[in-house]
Structure 1
Amino acid sequence: MKIIDNLRRYAVSTFFLSGLCFTINAQTAPEASPPKAKESEVYCAGFIEYAPAPYRFEIVGGEQEQERRVYSAGDYVYINAGTAQGIRNGQEFSIIRPRGQFTTKLTKKKGWLGVYTQEVGQLRVVDVKERVSVAVITKSCETILLGDLLRAAYPRPAPDLSAERTFNRFADPSNKKRGRIILARDGQEMISTNQVVFIDLGEEDGLRVGDRLVIYRPVGTGNVTRFRDEEVVPNASGGFESERFRGGKFSNQSQRVKDGNSTGIFGPTVNTPEIKRRRPQLPRKIVGELVVTNVQRRASTGIITQVAQEIITGDYVEVR
């Protein structure tokens, strides 16, 4: 029996032992399911909502407010609504914090994109009075404050975040919808994998949850510090060789000449800016990919799934 137990993982096989025949059925391991977005990436990401409805409900107190002003998961808080406003036991709300209308020079869209809203947690109503209710905070994305607003909680799909095995850093454009990364969560400007970003594409552009976008920028751009794009080297001159050994009159550090055949070492020189001006169009520089997790009217939220190098706010995106 011990032999049978040890061999259950293998393919169907027949063994002869002490004149007895044993047939063992295989128990193949199930295929690993693709990674899904975590709850913190779906429910704590935030969004840019174009025309939010007025929020009537808010957190107005806390059970332990005599000694604290911030709250987190497990704490009991009070909300300014009860049976008179239709609140019932077990009802769940998202806790949000609108930060204001969002505009940016990084987009070609006119007007504002919406109200940038942080998602700071979730709560569940546990005791309802006539005009006030008690709720327990079930999830906290960051510290929760009195005055944070509530909106009805609803389930959201967790998109597949598996990275493509083949990542073509020189892929041709898909010629589908294009936009830009206009913001990253927590105001980050240098972004990497598993971080949340916001893009200026939304429902009006046909975007859907689960869409994958390529992140790119023009080649030669993206530095935090700008350098002068030219060569700084000594002018060509003679006499580099010693008088005794005559090693040669050329210097490896002197400027390059365009046509050494006819002008020698003192002719017109080659320089990097000129080369860039007359070269053909180069492939764009692909720096990563993202998956869309939340779509609003004019903007969407996404998670970086793959990078070739650091990503920055202002990088371009294109639907795959």
Structure 2
Amino acid sequence: MSLKKMTNSKGILWLLLSFTVLPLLPHSVAEGQAVEGARQTAASFPIERVQTPTEADVACAGFIEKQPLPRAQFVAAGLTTPNTTKFGTGELVYLAGTGYQLGQTYTILRELRNPNPGELFAGQSKLLRATGQPYAELARVRIVDIRHKLAIAEVEFSCDPVVPGDLVRPYSKQSAVAFHPPITFDRFVPLGTGKAGTILMAKDYDYELGTGATVYVNLGTGDGLKPGDYLRTYRTYSADRKDAVDSLSFQAARSEDTQRYPASMDPSVLTRSKGPVVHIADLPTRGVGEIVVLKAGESSATGMIVFALEDVHVGDSVMLDRR
């Protein structure tokens, strides 16, 4: 290869690399630049690299419905019944009910119940009942035969196994979430005046959550929410103190052997030391992570955690991030 060709090749390579790298650079203000009342550092304003939800993340997200859905259409059995009770991609299932059309696509849903009666935060059950009924989205099926009393459908895509009794409703394709370039995350931004919500529950009834987890919140279209919006999730130290596990850390010894007058946190008359008193309510609210809205109903929304600085908990607060 001639020197001229090598030079041209290197130039093209550097040009391609520049276009590849530039979108990955945060379009926010640089470290050290002043923010009103704060100074940006890597610790207080970390770079938020937002995970983009996949088509499967959206299709398998589930939702909370204000009113229970009809149960007239449901999965009755499958080709290998009774030897098989769970069905997945590529298998045939039989659908009970009427109104099925050849070639039409349907979503298989499951009306959920929590097998664990305990609450993950005080008032969770009451708040969830007021918001609606949770549903899991299990699979997408296509009708391949309507010559019998039960319609026959092929499972084209499955998130989780389908079982008899799962519900059927017409399929509606969800819009994809656009890529979001990296930005800075203001860890201690003062809370705005918008309506605050709560993470009511998580997919599969998980509790400690990280990036990629699906959550359900009690904010919806009635609160101005729409798919593609971002929610900031945050937690107060007072909330940590109410947690059955985290509260134990507040009771642990914090003194240093060489410290003459150790501080005490909201002490009682019996536990107060001679040192300074720290009031937990005075500690700043800290940002925990970011959630992108995948689906939004009137009073609830399904979201995916796309960035987390620490474990996100069911019961954490959320608020619309208007950046």
Assess same fold via TM > 0.5.
yes
Superposed counterparts of 1:75-94, under 5 Å: 75-81=91-97, 85-94=98-107
C-alpha distance in 2 between matches for 1:271 and 1:188: 40
The whole-number CA distance in structure 2 between the counterparts of 1:191 and 1:106 is 17
SS in 2 for 1:121: strand
Larger relative helix fraction? 2
Structure 2 contact 104–143 (Cα < 8 Å) conserved: yes
Mapped to 1, the partners of 2:207 and 2:314 lie a distance apart of 5
Structure-1 separation of matches of 2:193 and 2:125: 18
Match of 1:115 among 127, 130, 133: 133
TM-score, normalization by structure 1: 0.74
How far does residue 150 in structure 1 lie from its aligned partner after superposition? 0.5
Once the two structures are superposed, the pairs formed by residues 138-217 of structure 1 within 5 Å of their partners are 138-160=156-178, 162=180, 164-217=182-235
Deviation of 1:86 after TM superposition, in Å, equals 3.6
Written as runs of structure 1 = structure 2, the 5 A alignment for 1:145-294 is 145-160=163-178, 162=180, 164-219=182-237, 221-222=239-240, 224-227=245-248, 229=250, 252-253=257-258, 255-256=260-261, 269-271=273-275, 274-276=277-279, 281-294=282-295
Residues 1:42 and 1:312: Cα distance change in structure 2 (over 3 Å): same
- Give CA deviations for 1:72-120 in whole Å, capped at 9, x if unaligned: 1010111124xxx442221100000112599981499696211111111
Deviation at residue 36 of structure 1 after TM alignment: 3.9
Q: Distance in 2 between matches of 1:178 and 1:95?
A: 32
Q: In structure 1, what is the Cα distance between the partners aligned to 2:172 and 2:96? A: 21
1:127 corresponds to 2:145: yes
Percent of pairs with identical residues: 25
Per the alignment, residue 83 of structure 2 pairs with 67
Cα offset, 1:319, TM superposition: 0.6
How big is the shift at 1:291? 0.5
Matched residue type, 2:290: E
After TM superposition, give the deviation of residue 44 of structure 1 in Å.
Answer: 0.9
Decide which moves more: 291-300 or 92-101.
92-101
CA deviation vs aligned residue, 1:223-267 (integer Å, no higher than 9, x gap) = 634226468599xxxxxxxxxxxxxxxx94464189xxxxxxxxx
**One of 89, 98, 108 as aligned partner of 2:111:** 98
Measured after TM superposition, the shift of residue 212 of structure 1 is 0.6
Pair 1:58-2:102 in alignment: no
Q: Which residue of 1 aligns with 2:40?
A: none
Query: Which residues of structure 2 form unaligned runs of 5+?
Result: 25-49, 264-271
Sort the Cα spacing of 1:78 and 1:229 in 2 relative to 1 into closer, same or farther, 3 A. Answer: closer
TM-score by length of structure 2 reads 0.73
Structure 2 counterpart of 1:296, which letter? G
Specify the alignment match of 1:19 in structure 2: none
Cα RMSD for the two superposed structures? 3.7
Distance 1:216 1:316 in 2: 5
- The structure with the larger Rg is 1
Q: Secondary structure at the match of 1:55?
A: coil
Structure 1: runs of 5+ lacking an equivalent = 12-24, 235-250, 259-267
Amino acid in the other structure paired with 2:73:
F
The CA deviation at 1:46 is: 0.9
Residue deviations 1:189-226 (CA, integer Å, cap 9, x gap)? 10000110011111222211111111111136436342
Greater shift, 69-78 or 212-221, is seen at 212-221
Answer whether contact 2:216 2:303 (CA < 8 A) is retained: yes
CA separation of 1:221/1:157 partners in 2, compared to 1, >3 Å: closer, same or farther?
A: same
Go from structure 1 to structure 2 and tell me whether the alpha carbon gap of 1:107 and 1:75 turns closer, same or farther (over 3 Å shift): closer
